[in-house]
Amino acid sequence: MATIALTEETFDEVAQGDGIVLIDFWASWCGPCVRFAPTYEKLSDKHADITFAKVDTEAQQGLSARFDVRSIPTIMAVRDGVIVYAEPGALPEATLENIIEQIRALDMDDVRKKIAEAG
């Protein structure tokens, strides 16, 4: 599956749905972002059940501000409408695979319970 571009208009609709959404906050002038892109694309083909999305931080500055993205690339993972991971840095393929497996293994009822308790 190819990656999709997210905008301020489409972000919530995509990220608040069921399932896993991985989001790459990037910019065309960012060397690490450009080097990470082929890895991200490769995994998007491998994991067809996951939505792989990208946010161009230059074009979508409002989204960058909303999620306090201060360093790019930043990878964010949303599962069933809940942000479960957000870290800056270009990841090696094996590391991103590991993160995907951890996200798949999450007990979302437990995650929601912990969020409610912390709230």
How many C-beta atoms surround the C-beta of residue 55 within 10 A? 24
pLDDT for 119:
76
pLDDT for 36:
96
pLDDT digits (tens, 9 = 90+) for 68-99: 999 999 999 999 999 999 999 999 999 999 99
33 is catalytic: yes
How far is CA 25 from each of CA 65, 116, 119, rounded to the nearest angstrom? Answer: 11, 27, 27
Domains in the chain (CATH in brackets) are 4-118 (3.40.30.10)
Average pLDDT over residues 31-54: 95
Please report which confidence band the pLDDT of residue 1 belongs to, taking 50, 70 and 90 as the band edges: low
30 is catalytic: yes
pLDDT above 60: residue 4? yes
Q: Say if residues 85 and 36 touch (Cβ distance below 8 Å).
A: no
pLDDT for 2:
74
Q: How far apart are CA 92 and CA 27, in angstroms?
A: 18
Which residue of the set 33, 55, 72, 96 is catalytic?
Answer: 33
Average pLDDT over residues 43-63: 96
Which residue of the set 23, 30, 55, 72 is catalytic?
Answer: 30
